[in-house]
Amino acid sequence: MEPRVSYLVGRLDRVVRRRLAGALGPHGLSLQEYTTLSVLRARSGLSNAQLARRSLITPQAMNEVLARLEQRGLVLRHPDRTRGRIRPAELTVSGKRLLARADDSVDAAERDLFPGADGTRLHKLLVETLRGTDDSQ
C-alpha cells in the first residue's frame, strides 16, 4: 500500500524545514526569522498577532522573534496611538538587504529539493490547494 499523501506532505515539511534552516544559517537567520522578514516584505505594518498567524507561530514566539530582529536592526516597531498597545513592524534597509541575500540561498535550496519541477506549476497547485482553507492567509 502506498503512503497517504498527508503523510508524504508531513515528511516533506520536515525535509524542507531542515534544508532551509541549513541555507539560512550562514545568514544568521532562523526559519522563523526568515519567514517573518518575508511576510513583512509583502505586507509592512502588521501587528504581532497578524505576523504570528502568517508566520505559522504563536504570538508569544513572535514576540521573541521580533525582539531578536529589532535588536539586530532588521525590523523597526513604532507605537501607534490609534491602535493602542499594538506596535506595527516594518523592515529596515538592513533587513531588506539581508532578506535579499537569504532569498538567493532559499531559491538554491528549493531548486535542489525540487529538481526538474516547474516551480510555477508547483506553486500554482499549492496555492490552489490552500485557497479557501483556514491556513490560506
Question: CA 99, CA 72: separation in Å to the nearest integer?
Answer: 13
The pLDDT score that the predictor gives to residue 136 is 44
- The more confident residue out of 62 and 80 is 62
> Residue 77: what are its φ and ψ, rounded to 5°?
-125, 130
Question: CA 20, CA 13: separation in Å to the nearest integer?
Answer: 10
Residue of 29, 51, 30, 32 whose CA lies nearest to 40: 51
The pLDDT score that the predictor gives to residue 40 is 96
Q: What are the pLDDT digits (tens) for 5-52?
A: 899 889 999 999 999 999 999 999 999 999 999 999 999 988 889 999
User: What mean pLDDT, rounded, does the chain reach?
Assistant: 89
The CATH number corresponding to 17-130 among 1.10.10.10, 3.30.70.270, 3.40.50.970, 3.90.230.10 equals 1.10.10.10
